[in-house]
């Protein structure tokens, strides 16, 4: 079998949710962000496991993503949509019982016309300038909105992974100014906001990346392991080339393993010549270019010819791999391809 194996540790996911939940006071609800197919790990599996751990509320990015989550958790728990209510969403919002987080007066109008009486929340812009109503826009409709009992008022922090960044306090102050005294439940904190402390927690937190084992939640347990089978091993003599473009020339005689995954599996081509794989505890450098279905790896340091090499595992987490090419763990996770055998533990 030449199918790489992606192991997804749902008990680690659950432990991460409990650990983040424990960072806020007991009365504060810890929801879960499961957008982008549960950060690439399978929204249904992830949501089901988190509901078992105690999560009672979920967030997705677009309405279509809510279907898999709804199917996994049953009819009762709220599922919110960050993207709000877009043209054509009414049916899916209604049928899957999703709660749009309305981002503008335009979305508010659309929602009240298309689905009167259907629950909604409001997303406010506290300074990030990405989604949500601006302060003046909110002021113009707040009274009307509040009379309709929005289920949640939320905003999102731009710099929550940088503890000392002045933007955090500025956004907090703006959010408080926009929501204080409304009586509606509030949410400001994703993973970074949970870690910033109680001022940022309000009634509901909604972490994502920390659940999946990523920074900035330093105490997270790793959730994924990616093991790639060796197809063949050859001796490469000093001066011979390996792979496309002859980009690697062997500086000495070496043993090179060709393994069954490549950029089609989300292993970015930018990792060419830069990544490290692991044969158990032995570091083995990737040599030459990442191709579509294959990687070539110098396994000379391994005492036995390995049958599998780990790209993600105990020696290299998602953020370690991300650092090699200047990206973030979020992108590593959500880029994981569809060709892996996915085993849920
Ligand atoms: C993605 C997202 C989250 C979750 O953020 P993490 O950094 O993954 O915890 C929360 N809120 C909004 C609006 C988001 O887009």
Q: Where in the chain is the domain with CATH 2.40.37.10?
A: 224-344
Is 340 catalytic? The answer is no
Q: Where in the chain is the domain with CATH 3.20.20.10?
A: 31-212
Task: Report phi then psi at 202, rounded to 5.
Answer: 50, -140
- Write out pLDDT tens, residues 112-131: 999 999 999 999 999 999 99
Query: Is the CB of 123 within 6 Å of ligand 1?
Result: no
- Write out pLDDT tens, residues 103-114: 999 999 999 999
Q: d(Cα 102, Cα 85) in Å, to the nearest integer?
A: 6
Q: d(Cα 86, Cα 136) in Å, to the nearest integer?
A: 22
DSSP 219-262: TPPP-EEEEEEEEEEEEE-TT-EESGGG-EE-SS-EEEEEES--
Residue 61 burial class via C-beta count within 10 angstroms: exposed 0-12, middle 13-18, buried 19 and up? middle
- Strand locations in 49-91, DSSP E? 58-60, 79-81
Q: How much is the average pLDDT of 254-262? A: 98
CATH code of 31-212, in short, is 3.20.20.10
Query: Is the CB of 82 within 6 Å of ligand 1?
Result: yes
Q: Which CATH number fits domain 224-344: 2.40.37.10, 3.90.950.20, 3.40.190.10, 3.30.365.10?
A: 2.40.37.10
For tokens 């010549």, the residue is: 273
Alpha carbon of 288 to ligand 1 centroid (Å)? 36
Closest CA to 153 of 99, 92, 113, 97: 99
- What does the mean pLDDT of the chain come to? 98
Is 244 catalytic? The answer is yes
User: Between the CA of residue 202 and those of 26, 88, 91, 130, what are the distances in Å?
Assistant: 12, 32, 31, 21
- Beta-bridged to residue 309, according to DSSP, are 228
Q: How much is the average pLDDT of 219-224? A: 98
Test site for ligand 1: of 175, 208, 223, 334, most ligand atoms within 8 A of the Cβ: 208
Percent of the chain predicted with pLDDT > 90: 100
Alpha carbon of 33 to ligand 1 centroid (Å)? 6
Four-residue CA torsion sign, 257, 258, 262, 265: negative
Instruction: State if pTM tops 0.95.
Output: yes
DSSP 123: E
Supply 151's token pair. 């289920």
Query: Is the CB of 120 within 6 Å of ligand 1?
Result: no
Residue 1 has pLDDT above 90, yes or no: no
How many angstroms separate the first and last alpha carbons of the chain?
A: 20
Q: What confidence tier does 284 reach under pLDDT thresholds 50, 70, 90? A: very high
């Amino acid at each position: 079998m030449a199918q790489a194996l992606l192991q997804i540790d749902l008990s680690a996911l659950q432990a991460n949710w409990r650990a983040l939940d424990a960072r806020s006071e007991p009365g504060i609800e810890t929801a879960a962000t499961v957008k982008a197919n549960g950060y690439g790990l399978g929204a249904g599996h992830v949501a089901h496991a988190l509901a078992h751990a105690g999560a009672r509320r979920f967030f997705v990015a677009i309405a279509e993503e809510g279907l898999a989550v709804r199917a996994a958790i049953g009819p009762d728990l709220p599922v919110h949509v960050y993207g709000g209510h877009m043209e054509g969403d009414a049916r899916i919002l209604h049928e899957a019982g999703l709660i749009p987080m309305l981002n503008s007066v335009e979305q508010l109008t659309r929602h009240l016309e298309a689905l009167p009486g259907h629950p909604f929340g409001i997303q406010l812009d506290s300074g990030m300038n990405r989604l949500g109503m601006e302060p003046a826009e909110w002021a113009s409709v707040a009274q009307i909105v509040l009379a309709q009992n929005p289920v949640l008022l939320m905003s999102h922090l731009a710099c929550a992974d940088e503890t000392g960044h002045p933007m955090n306090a500025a956004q907090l102050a703006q959010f408080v100014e926009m929501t204080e005294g409304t009586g509606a439940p509030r949410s400001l904190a994703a993973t970074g906001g949970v870690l910033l402390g109680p001022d940022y927690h309000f009634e509901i937190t909604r972490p994502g990346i920390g659940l999946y084992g990523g920074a900035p939640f330093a105490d997270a347990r790793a959730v994924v392991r990616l093991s790639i089978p060796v197809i063949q091993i050859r001796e490469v003599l000093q001066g011979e080339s390996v792979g496309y473009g002859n980009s690697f020339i062997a500086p000495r005689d070496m043993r090179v393993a060709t393994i069954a995954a490549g950029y089609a599996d989300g292993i970015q081509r930018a990792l060419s010549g830069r990544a490290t794989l692991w044969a158990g505890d032995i570091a083995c450098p990737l040599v030459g270019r990442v191709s579509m279905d294959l990687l070539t790896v110098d396994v000379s340091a391994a005492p036995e010819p390995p049958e599998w090499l780990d790209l993600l595992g105990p020696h290299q987490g998602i953020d370690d791999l991300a650092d090699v090419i200047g990206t973030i763990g979020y992108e590593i996770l959500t880029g994981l391809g569809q060709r892996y055998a996915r085993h849920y533990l």
